């Protein structure tokens, strides 16, 4: 079997592995955010937006809808927000995010379904992986 035929034969398995890798990244990112939100007792509505150079937004943003933006910025870096936007884009199947949610709902609304998908795929999630220290 030549290389092209081998790759084509492996395509379904490779696509499954890529999806699982993205799902694992989303889980780790969301679990880190949930742990930090819980530890800092953060709550309230936020809007997560993906980068949009056309709107002169060159990186992902998270905006506190209740005016407590400084608290968000105190707990999360630009890289944290970028990772969250990437994870949420995967979870919501949308590259262009403009998503408003309550911080305290992140676990039940987003992390829970991601965890369930991993478990259905036979992935074991250790207690340490459920809420990593951040």
Q: What is the pLDDT of residues 83-123, one digit of tens each?
A: 999 999 999 999 889 999 999 999 999 999 999 999 999 99
Residue 4, domain member (yes or no): no
**pLDDT at residue 2 above 80?**
no
Give me the pLDDT at residue 128, please: 64
Residue 2 lies in a domain: no
Q: 108: how many CB neighbours lie within 10 A of its CB?
A: 11
- Count up the domains in the chain and report the number: 1
What phi-psi label fits residue 97: left (phi over 0), alpha (psi between -120 and 50 degrees) or beta? beta
> How much is the average pLDDT of 49-73?
92
DSSP secondary structure letter of residue 107: I
The pair of structure tokens assigned to 55 is 């709107």
The average confidence (pLDDT) of the chain is 91
In angstroms, the CA 26 to CA 42 distance is 20
Q: Which residue has the tokens 């997560």?
A: 48
Across 24-42, average pLDDT: 96
Range of the domain at 100: 17-130
| Residue 9 forms part of a structural domain | no
């Amino acid at each position: 079997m030549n290389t092209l035929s081998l790759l084509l034969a492996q395509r379904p398995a490779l696509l499954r592995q890529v999806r699982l890798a993205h799902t694992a990244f989303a889980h780790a990112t969301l679990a880190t955010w949930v742990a930090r939100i819980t530890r800092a007792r953060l709550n309230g509505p936020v809007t997560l937006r993906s980068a949009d150079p056309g709107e002169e937004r060159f990186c992902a943003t998270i905006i506190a809808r209740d005016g407590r933006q400084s608290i968000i910025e105190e707990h999360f870096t630009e890289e944290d927000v970028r990772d969250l936007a990437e994870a949420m884009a995967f979870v919501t199947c949308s590259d262009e995010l403009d998503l408003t949610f309550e911080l305290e709902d992140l676990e039940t609304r987003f992390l829970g379904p991601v965890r369930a998908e991993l478990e259905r795929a036979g992935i074991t999630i250790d207690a340490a992986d459920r809420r990593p220290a951040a």
